Structure 1
């Protein structure tokens, strides 16, 4: 009814990115859940679910993420709200999307179960509902912010080599970068600072470790003002 109230169900979904080795290289991955009921029975989707009547949005996102994947990231960031009228065949569903980055050791501790798998982001397609669009939007936001120090901290840890940082940029951007140019650009940007520590365990001269310079009051790695029409 034009101008009248429209009944809608409220849900949450979460996009979690991590770095995992795939075919000899570090690649960006995210967990997908195989649906076991209609609509889209058998299709893969982002982890999520309905919001309980007494739950806050982030509380619901954390609960559904833990229930479906076992992941409990230290932070979640509200990404966007998707509410196109035809996004679900069962009726009007508005989904609040959360996103986060997790380090690979945390991701590795989550054993894959029969209906959950880690998928390389560049191979994700054909997801249920409009989740292909949701993933593409989350990836666009991450790529726009990959130069920010928060991305390195959440994916790598407090310290990292410039080689490890370049692997993050390559995985997020989906293309190789020239090592020498990357080193010059990053060290001149002021986004990282050198420590007195070195990476151990390699066969060659151990590279120096760096730490991210995070400006006071900086927002999370996905924060931006632009967005798609929901």
Structure 2
């Protein structure tokens, strides 16, 4: 039996939630769209394999990534019995666009408009989306999809994309600000349209734990809970990598 690692990479470009795919270079299904995947090598941990595959196929490194679950249906790979360990990653598309390699022709697709995928990769993506919603309800991991400075409207667009719903603007802003997660910046963004300037916010340097409800909007209750180990939440860019050990199982 072979052991493979597959990476589900979600990105946000400020408007849409997207999925990074590559065209498979091996038979069977050569040329069809696929998640980033490869086989576990001797002497290599699963994390090392996930980071190697991500770097090799996309050029990306240093991104937020955590293990999701195993997929082991006997017939999932028509060539040989293969157990796949799936990881999901979160990135700000604009931050990493220059790092993206073109060797394997990676391409971003809107999560609602992705092409047919090989094997059971669509099932992996569907489960990853549910897992992401669950994780986002417990901890502010969605900040990994944003630049270090962003506006509340940008944050609202992100949450509406993840939960596939619409939030009331004023209610969303009030709820977000009440968490004290954000640091208000003096600089403002002046849009080209005739709208009021938007305040830029940042999570950098904010390590205060969250212990009260975050959002209760449009039938979806989203809560940020304090850490089970009674430790604080690291700031943006420091939070990366330790979420899995501190989150309860779904």
Q: TM-score range by the shorter chain?
A: 0.7 to 0.9
After superposition, where does 1:79-98 map in structure 2 within 5 Å? 79-98=68-87
**Partner of residue 207, structure 1:** 198
1:66 CA drift (Å): 1.4
Matched residue SS, 1:84 = coil
Residue 38 of structure 1 is aligned with which of 14, 27, 30? 27
Structure 1 residues 29, 96: closer, same or farther in 2, change over 3 A?
same
Superposed CA RMSD: 2.5
| Deviation, structure 1 residue 91 | 2.1
Give the 3 Å change call, closer, same or farther, for CA 201–138 of structure 1 in structure 2. same
Q: Distance in 2 between matches of 1:170 and 1:29?
A: 13
Instruction: Within 5 Å, give how 1:86-165 maps onto structure 2.
Output: 86-109=75-98, 110=100, 112=102, 115-147=105-137, 148-152=139-143, 154-165=144-155
* Count of residues paired in the alignment: 213
Q: Indicate if the aligned counterparts of 1:124 and 1:132 stay in contact, CA closer than 8 A.
A: no
- Equivalence for 2:243: 220
Counterpart-to-counterpart distance in 1, 2:177 and 2:73 = 43
Q: 1:174 to 1:112 in 2, by over 3 A?
A: farther
Moved more, 77-86 or 198-207: 198-207
Supply the distance in 2 between the matched residues of 1:191 and 1:97 (Cα, whole angstroms).
Answer: 33
Tell me, yes or no, if the aligned pair for 2:57 and 2:104 is still in contact at 8 Å.
no
- Which ranges of structure 2 fall in alignment gaps of 5 or more residues? 210-230, 234-241
Hey, what does 1:55 align to over in structure 2? 44
1:11 is aligned to 2:9: no
Structure 1 residue ranges without an equivalent (≥5): 1-7
